[in-house]
Structure 1
Amino acid sequence: MGERKVLNKYYPPDFDPSKLPRVRRPKNQQMKVRMMLPMSIRCNTCGNYIYKGTKFNSRKEDVIGETYLGIQIFRFYFKCTKCSAELAMRTDPKNSDYIVESGATRNFEPWREEDEVTEIEKQKRDAEEMGDAMKSLENRTLDSKREMDILAALDEMKSMKSRHATVSVDAMLEALQRTAGEKEKRLEEEDEALIKSIFHKPVDYVRRIHDEDLDDDGDMIQLSSGNGEISGDNLKRRKVSEEPLGNPTDSLTKATFVDSSTNKGSRYFPPS
């Protein structure tokens, strides 16, 4: 079936192309092209967002009187996908980008702002170095110093990486376990020291003054024997009162025990 499809046309021997009528077309004729949106925009009419890569039919025309280094600038007309409002954008050969002219607003793109800031700084530096040789030398010195710092940091990272490469995984895990064990042991020792400091406080010896102690001097004078000795009951009472008290009821218990022993020793037996 391929031989039936004619791709060439017959031109007679006396064909003269100069005799063909010339078709006059408008100088700025628009062409219909299908393209993809090169950026994300927002329609000013309905607020609809049209994202990058959206396909649509557009009309292309040449921008009369505007070129960049001999490169023709083109303008595109297309419609919003929601409200069918007409939007227009044109090419920007200087920045290898597109510019939205009317009907929409380009969404914020942080990388474009960074590029613009970098370009502004570069232009400012070129303007400063234009007539100042010392400024140019200073900038070159700073650039060389910055490069040296970057190379030093890179060498340090390489050396660190080489050191880490010699460490095996097993040794690393063992070191981590050993560190964790030492930390846990240290925490246990601190807890034990804190517990001992709270529950093993030294007993404070507090001497309590009883009514009996106030009358000790009088009792000693009355009960003293001829050779100047004090009776055993008073000595026992003094000893009990001077002992350290662990609980408040210990003194009562010991005093009761002393009185009972005294009564047993001085029990009266009637004559038989």
Structure 2
Amino acid sequence: MQGFNKYYPPDYDPSQGSLNKARGKRSGKHALGDRARKLDQGILITRFELPFNIWCDTCHNHIGMGVRYNAEKKKIGAYYSTPIFSFRCKCHLCDGWFEIQTDPKNTRYVVVSGARQKDENWDPEENGGFAVHGKIIDTERADAPLDPLVALEKKAVASKNMNEVQIPRLESLQSISEQYNADPYSLSLKARKQFRLEKKVEQSKRKADDLIKDRYGLPTSLSLLEDDDEMVQEAKQKWMKGKEEIQRNQNLRDLRPRRLAMDRLSIPTPSSRRIVSQSKEQTLASLKARILVNTARKSYSFGGGQPIS
């Protein structure tokens, strides 16, 4: 059995690339050899086989289908995602060049320059037949040829389409129409009721939004978001947190004057002691005078003496 092993030179390093790349670095040439001499121009030399018979415009000789050339392959465009390639070949009978391009849209090759394609397309209409591919026969014309097979095929397709597509579709549309037109008053009543409910909800939302905008001085063109349970819960938590922080700051502010007042009361001065003793003496004197007046009034009411002013 013949072996298929490759020779790996001693200085070959797999981390630097493939074996062909290593050989190219060693020899200073591309892995494709002379075929890549125009690779910097986007041209690759490849073998190209003529897909049809052509006539060379330079030497006017016939070149048969299947003749192979070393063609210059180049990408010249794209049809959607399919690339369009150009093959430039040199005639083997003269020094002329001809170019053939691919046509992905029509799945064919097209001669662009330097040659012309030999027309070998067979037209069945010219030979007493009927065009089946690429043309549509208008059977409604008076001078159109009558093909029984084509007419039968069209009739069968039309009948199948009528039975499988059009008739079920018409029946479904008719049933829907009958369902809607059975009681138009009740359907209209339901529609108007639903419309009124939606209108009330929309008006209430708009009114609530206007109140919020007026309260906080927001622009009328501002659109507010709808209430959400998650957003409401988050706003409530932030509100409670801010309220607790404000209450804490207020308590701290109220606590400072109290401490100052307690400090002042805890250290009495001689003048304050004198004022307190004088106020106590005045209170006792006024209390004694009031007791004497009340006693005199009672004695006057029982003894009949003169009233005491």
Q: Which TM class, normalised by the smaller chain length? A: 0.3 to 0.5
Higher RCO (CA-CA < 8 Å; seq separation 6+) = 1
TM normalised by structure 1 equals 0.36
Normalization by structure 2: what TM-score?
A: 0.32
